[in-house]
Every structure is written in C-alpha cells, then in structure tokens.
Structure 1
C-alpha cells in the first residue's frame, strides 16, 4: 500500500508547492553546467582565455585567474537560465495557482501528499495543435528528493493522461530540459515519444548548448 495519495491543490499548499518547484528546477543547474564544459567551442574559448594572458604577459597566475573567471562566468550564465525561468513561472501561472489552474475550464493542478506533507505536484494546461486537435500540456511536475523512487512521478503523469482522456483530448504534450535525464526516461517508459529538440529562448542557451526536449503521448482512441 502506497504511503501517499493524489489530490487537488489547495491554497494552504502554496509555500510547499512553491519551494518544491523551485528546488526541483534549480537542482539541474549543475548537470547543465558540467555539460557546457564538454561543448567544443567552450573548450576552445577556455583555451584562448587561458593562453592569451600567458602569451602576452608570460604570467601563469594571470592565465589561471583568467581561466577561473571564465569558468565562473559560464556557471553564472547557466544558473541565470534556470533562475530566470523560476522567477518568470512564480510571477506568472504560479503566482495564484488556484485562480490560474482550478478556476479555468480544462486546467488542473494536483499534489501528492504523504503524512500531511506535499511531496509532489503536476499541472495540466489545455492547448491546441496546428491541425486543430485538442491536447493537454503536462507542466510543473516535480517530486521531492526524499520521496523519489516510490512511483509518485509515474502516478502524477498518469493522472494528467487520464485527465486528458476525460476531456476528449488526443494527446498529452510536454517540454523538459536536456539535463533532466530521469524525467526523460520516465516519459519514454510511459509511452511518450520524442518530438523534437530546440534551444531555450535565451541568448546564452545556444552558447552553452542548453536545449529543450519535447515529448508527446498519443491517447488511444476508443478507450
């Protein structure tokens, strides 16, 4: 028997949901940063930054300082992408979750509760495909680190799929970042298919190879 249950969001959940969302997003910063260090043009840039002071001044300490500052700049550029996304979300749909998700037709927001504590969440947003088909977008899914590996994310994902089916939609779509490897594995195991990859809409995204990954779950007809 599971030690959690899924229910609709309540206003009293706000602070817990907000913190869960913010921590769940920012934890991927390190993965994205380490990935940026493997990008060829970043390596070339680092090499130039290190060698230029060495060749022009002959100072090894100055070269090390320049290289260190370049790495710090890369880290700040990576964290800025995540922090900007979090701040935008908290001032947009997550500023008033009840009004945005629970007072509008086709929208919904659920939380996973365990021992009176919110340990997971997910949202559903209606959207239309260019072909005219109605889809549901899965958003804001996150599970507390202390409760991962218990199947909560799978149940939250299934909750959105069932919601989309009840609404007569043909598919569930979502976007995630390339750094969220575990999430991608979950979606693929649940039957989501990869659609495309693109760079995040921020100047530094292409520079550090920060990509968004899109998935779609096609709801079988006749069910």
Structure 2
C-alpha cells in the first residue's frame, strides 16, 4: 500500500464530497438523494471548524485522494439530520464517557479490497486514543455487508442491530 493518510484540507472539499456521494449512490441505488447530505457541502466549516472533528483523507501519488473518514466528538449538534443521535437508553448507559462517532468512511470503488478502509479505521482509532476518547460509535446499514464485515474484523462490537441499521462500539 503506497497510500498515505493526512488531515483534510479545504482544497480537498470537492474531491472528498464526490467520493462520499459516489459511495452512497452506489449503496443506495436509485433511492439515493444527495440533498440529504448537506453536512458535506462544506466539510471544513461544518466538521473541522464547528465540531472540531478529525477529518482525514487517504491519497496516493498516482490517483490523488482515494479514501476518507471522519471522527466526530460527541455530543454534536446535527443541524442537517444526516446522522442520528444515540438512542436515549444507550446514551444513559454511556454517561460519563468521552464519546466520538466514526463516520463518512469511504474508499473509491477502484481501490477497494486493498486494505485501505482498514488503514483509515486504524488511523481514526489511534486518533481517538490520542484525543482521550473512551469509545468510538459507528452506525451502518445492515445491507452494507462490506461495512458490517470490516467493523467486526476491526474489533467493533455490535450493541444494537435492527432490520435497517447496526450500531457498533469500540472501547479504547
């Protein structure tokens, strides 16, 4: 793997936005509506400046940016409704813990199967440890089998599974 991870920069905006939207369109098919993803219209302002999130990109010298991911400190105000808040009962159980959410993990279709998603996840796990978080929370769709498999392979534990969504937790 010749790809390296670095922090997101403002100049990465359109490439990262396109990468995330392409991945979502692939997953959702004809039901996909990009207008539900207002949070990625200005990633730097919304995530980096407003939420103090860690946003990273994976790039290689030949192809440029081929992956991305976000580590969002919780609680966080979601003004766009693009990611859900933790259920009340789960939040009560985790009171007193410093929590973050891993989200917007995406790898370009032509670069999947090379361990890049694991590389991004491991980088974000290390960042969460360095920032003093106790737990990482992740939500994904039940039908997104590649996401389900990778989170399990990386040591995330299922805390809730429904017909549509699976909620994971990684204790640091």
User: By the TM > 0.5 criterion, same fold?
Assistant: yes
Partner SS, residue 195 of structure 1: strand
C-alpha contact 2:17 2:41 (8 A) present in aligned 1: no
**Consecutive unaligned residues in structure 1, runs of 5 or more:** 31-78, 199-208
For each residue in 1:118-146, what CA deviation from the matched residue of structure 2 results, as whole angstroms up to 9, or x when unmatched?
10000011115432211110010000011
Q: Gaps (5+ residues) in structure 2?
A: 76-90
Work out the CA distance in 1 between the residues paired with 2:102 and 2:55. Answer: 10
* 2:142 counterpart residue number: 178
The DSSP-based 3-state class of the residue aligned with 2:74 is: strand
SS at match of 2:100: strand
Deviation at 1:29, TM superposition (A): 2.8
Of the three residues 110, 113, 125, the one matched with 2:72 is: 125
User: CA deviation digits over 1:47-103, x for unaligned, max 9?
Assistant: xxxxxxxxxxxxxxxxxxxxxxxxxxxxxxxx43x32xx3222x2x21211112222
Tell me if structure 1 keeps the 8 A contact 2:139–2:168. yes
4+ aligned runs moved over 6 Å, structure 1: none
Q: Which residue does 1:19 correspond to in 2?
A: 18
- Matched with 2:54 is 108
**Taking structure 2 as the reference length, what is the TM-score of the superposition?**
0.82
Q: Larger C-alpha radius of gyration, 1 or 2? A: 1
* Structure 1 residue corresponding to 2:159, chosen from 178, 195, 220: 195
Q: How does 1:1-223 map to 2 (within 5 A)?
A: 2-29=1-28, 79-80=30-31, 82-83=32-33, 86-89=34-37, 91=38, 93-104=39-50, 106-115=52-61, 117-128=64-75, 129-130=91-92, 131-198=95-162, 211-219=164-172
Cα separation, 2, equivalents of 1:104 and 1:156: 22
Larger helix proportion of the pair: 1
Q: Alignment partner of 1:28: what SS? A: helix
Shift in Å at residue 197 of structure 1? Answer: 2.4
